[in-house]
């Protein structure tokens, strides 16, 4: 039977009946499936932030192949839980502290090297930032998911490893400086203004995280070579779009958001971008890098 430990955990009765569950895309387990397309020749990604085109978990497990990961659209206010997403390189002292807290259910992440620990949100009463989609540590080695897609693999942590010290959970959550939502504790939220007007819809935390990640990747790339500059920009834009499509933010960002983020990153990282936009002018009513992103996205987004 799939997800035996989850079925036996206190978490099952809290979330199994919620119609917020999806299969994951074959070969791309971080992408949830639009269950309205289940059974069609071509599956669609689920880009909704609610129960649209989702099933409950018992129905889903009856339909998906045994052992397949599934996705849950977490809404902390509805489910009363939050998920600690712990990366493989997380400080062992943090991992030990969270493992010693009273989690409801734990399992290995999709990579098999990280951890997902599910906590009762009531354990953080008085400390929660209820507006945040995610609360991230300073170095990004772990974060608390509050309104986000969460993958469930069924590779459960032994429940006997569960601790009882809630103080470690409270202290770690309160120490996390980055609250990813419509606002943050650091000033980089202003960066959203660069593309918010062009976005089809706004998942501000996800789009901002995607932008920051692409900026870091772009800083490692070389300068434009001599020769055909337009061809170089097209290849670099395709590279940005591929990275965006592969990112952990992709399921929660619309196509329009990802195009806007990639165009904005190009403006900030491509050599002489401002002069290039003046030279190239408007194409189909769009600025050059918006047009380039739209053109280069064929076959990627």
Share of the chain above pLDDT 70, in %: 89
pLDDT value for 48: 74
Band of pLDDT at residue 201, cut at 50, 70 and 90: very low
Among candidates 75, 212, 231, 208, which has minimal Cα distance to 145? 75
Whether pTM exceeds 0.75: no
| Stretch 268-279: mean pLDDT | 87
Q: Measure CA 21 to chain center.
A: 16
Which range among 43-57, 107-121, 186-200 has the greatest average pLDDT? 107-121
Query: Is the pLDDT reported for residue 186 higher than 70?
Result: no
Give the mean pLDDT of the chain. Answer: 85
**pLDDT tens column, 257-268:** 889 999 999 998
Query: Is the pLDDT reported for residue 221 higher than 90?
Result: no
Top pLDDT among 223 and 236 is at 236
Band of pLDDT at residue 193, cut at 50, 70 and 90: very low
**Helices 255-269 and 288-296: crossing angle, nearest 10°?**
130
pLDDT value for 222: 67
| Stretch 276-300: mean pLDDT | 90
Query: Is the pLDDT reported for residue 198 higher than 90?
Result: no
Which range among 186-195, 221-230, 242-251 has the greatest average pLDDT? 242-251
Which has the minimum average pLDDT: 37-46, 90-99, 182-191, 284-293?
182-191
Query: Is the pLDDT reported for residue 132 higher than 90?
Result: no
Query: Is the pLDDT reported for residue 194 higher than 90?
Result: no
Band of pLDDT at residue 102, cut at 50, 70 and 90: very high
């Amino acid at each position: 039977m799939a997800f035996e430990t989850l079925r036996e955990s206190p978490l099952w009765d809290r979330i199994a009946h919620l119609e917020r569950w999806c299969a994951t895309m074959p070969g791309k387990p971080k992408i949830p499936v639009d269950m309205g397309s289940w059974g069609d020749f071509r599956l669609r990604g689920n880009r909704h932030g609610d129960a649209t085109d989702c099933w409950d978990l018992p129905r889903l497990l009856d339909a998906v192949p045994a052992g397949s990961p599934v996705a849950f659209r977490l809404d902390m206010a509805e489910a009363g839980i939050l998920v600690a997403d712990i990366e493989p390189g997380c400080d062992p002292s943090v991992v030990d502290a969270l493992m010693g807290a009273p989690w409801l259910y734990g399992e290995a992440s999709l990579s098999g090297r990280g951890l997902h620990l599910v906590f009762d949100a009531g354990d953080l009463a008085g400390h929660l930032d209820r507006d945040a989609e995610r609360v991230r540590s300073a170095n990004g080695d772990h974060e608390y998911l509050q309104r986000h897609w969460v993958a469930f693999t069924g590779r459960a942590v032994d429940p006997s490893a569960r601790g009882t010290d809630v103080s470690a959970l409270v202290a770690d959550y309160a120490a996390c400086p980055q609250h990813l939502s419509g606002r943050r504790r650091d000033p980089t939220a202003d960066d959203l203004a660069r593309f918010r007007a062009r976005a089809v819809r706004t998942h501000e935390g996800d789009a901002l995280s995607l932008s920051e990640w692409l900026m870091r990747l772009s800083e490692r790339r070389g300068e434009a070579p001599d020769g055909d500059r337009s061809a170089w920009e097209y290849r670099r834009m395709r590279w940005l779009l591929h990275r965006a499509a592969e990112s952990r933010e992709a399921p929660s960002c619309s196509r329009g958001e990802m195009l806007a983020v990639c165009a904005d990153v190009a403006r900030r990282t491509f050599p002489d971008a401002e002069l290039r936009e003046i030279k190239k002018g408007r194409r189909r009513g769009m600025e050059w890098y918006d047009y380039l992103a739209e053109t280069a996205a064929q076959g990627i987004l």
